[in-house]
Every structure is written in structure tokens, then in C-alpha cells.
């Protein structure tokens, strides 16, 4: 008799613990849902937290892509932020000045990036380097940022300066020495300039 009673009591306690445990776990799940709902954006877009958050772990201020994405109504796809480099420009030398000169020098003489002028680099290497870049050493990839026409003009110009067939513009311009608009007088300084 007492054995059965003990058994019943133990069963009752076990059931009670199970019920309390279930309530606790369900409570936790319900409470934590709002937090987990935010990284859901990562799963939905297939993007890392750092694509939308300045803090790569998530939270905090948003990146430009993240702000644009939210403003677009949070679609499943990220907005394409690949920006064309020089819309409307089709001259190879101009394109080089805009996109490449800051690293390879105005005359292709080399600055942060290696010299191109006189390097004899072949067309294949030049076009694949422009398209794919060399991420690790700091050469950007230009795929998607140039129209076909711009790409061809840029490659032709770059191949031209590499082989020496095209003479790049000088990277410095001699200027005549500056002139003062007035002469000092024997009695002291004269008034110069606009004042």
C-alpha cells in the first residue's frame, strides 16, 4: 500500500517537473523569438551580418547596403550596389585616368600599383586582371562596372601603353613661373592684389 503511494507521489512529482520544464522552455522560446527574428534577414537574403550591419556580428548601425535594402521593403534579394565607373565615357585614355591612374600613375609609370607603361603585359593578362582584380594585393575587380564598349577601349589603351604603341600623356605639366601683378616701390610696399 505505502509502496504504491510512494510510486504515485514520485510519478506526480516527475509529471509536475516535466510540466514546469515545458512551460519554462516554451517561455524561453517565446521570449527569445524577437531577437532571433532579426538575423532571420541573413537567412532570407543569404548574406552575412556584415553586409547590412557596420558591426560584422550584427546589430548597431546599418551599412549603405543595409539601409537601401530596408528602404526597398526588405526583399529576399540584396540591392545591386555595383556602380558604373564613368557612365557615358568611351575614351580609353579618359577611362584610364578615371579608374586606374590613381594607383598606376597618370602615365602608367606605377605608384601604389606596378608600372604598366613599357611593361609589355599581354592583352589576355590585362583584360583578366581588370575584370577579376587581385583582391589580396589591392587591385580592384571591374567586372560589371564598365560597359563592353568601355572595357574594350580601356583594354586597347592599356595594351597600347604597355607595348609602347601609345604614348601616354606626361604626368607633369611645366608651368611658367608665377608673376606678381605689381612691383615694390622705393618708398615701401605698394598695394598688390585686389585689396
- Applying CB under 6 A, which residues contact ligand HEC? 38-39, 41-42, 45, 47, 49, 51-53, 57-60, 62, 66, 69-70, 99-100, 102-104, 112-114, 116, 119, 121, 126, 129-130, 134, 137-140, 142, 154, 158
Minimum gap (Å) between residue 88 Cβ and ligand HEC: 17
Q: How many C-beta atoms surround the C-beta of residue 127 within 10 A?
A: 16
Grid cell in block for residue 26: 516554451
Q: Which residues contact 166 (CB under 8 A, 6 or more apart)?
A: 157, 160
Task: Please state, in angstroms and rounded to a whole number, the distance separating the CA atoms of residues 165 and 108.
Answer: 13
Rounded least distance, CB 117 to ligand HEC, Å: 11
Minimum CB distance to ligand HEC smaller for 2 or for 33: 33
**How near is the Cβ of 180 to ligand HEC at its closest, in Å?**
40
Closest separation in Å from C-beta 170 to ligand HEC: 19
In 37-120, which residue ranges form alpha helices assigned H by DSSP? 40-45, 49-52, 64-71, 92-99, 101-104
Amino acid at each position: 500500500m505505502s509502496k504504491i503511494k510512494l510510486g504515485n507521489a514520485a510519478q506526480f512529482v516527475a509529471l509536475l517537473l516535466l510540466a514546469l520544464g515545458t512551460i519554462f522552455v516554451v517561455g524561453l522560446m517565446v521570449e527569445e523569438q524577437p531577437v532571433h527574428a532579426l538575423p532571420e534577414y541573413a537567412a532570407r537574403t543569404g548574406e552575412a551580418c556584415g553586409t547590412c550591419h557596420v558591426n560584422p556580428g550584427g546589430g548597431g548601425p546599418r551599412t549603405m547596403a543595409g539601409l537601401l535594402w530596408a528602404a526597398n521593403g526588405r526583399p529576399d534579394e540584396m540591392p545591386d550596389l555595383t556602380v558604373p565607373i564613368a557612365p557615358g565615357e568611351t575614351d580609353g585614355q579618359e577611362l584610364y585616368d578615371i579608374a586606374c591612374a590613381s594607383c598606376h600613375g597618370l602615365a602608367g609609370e606605377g605608384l601604389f600599383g606596378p608600372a604598366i607603361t613599357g611593361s609589355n603585359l599581354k592583352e589576355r593578362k590585362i583584360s583578366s586582371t581588370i575584370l577579376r582584380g587581385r583582391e589580396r594585393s589591392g587591385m580592384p575587380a571591374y567586372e560589371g562596372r564598365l560597359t563592353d564598349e568601355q572595357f574594350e577601349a580601356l583594354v586597347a589603351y592599356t595594351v597600347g601603353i604597355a607595348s609602347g604603341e601609345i604614348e601616354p600623356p606626361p604626368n607633369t605639366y611645366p608651368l611658367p613661373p608665377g608673376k606678381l601683378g605689381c612691383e615694390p616701390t622705393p618708398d615701401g610696399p605698394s598695394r598688390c592684389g585686389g585689396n
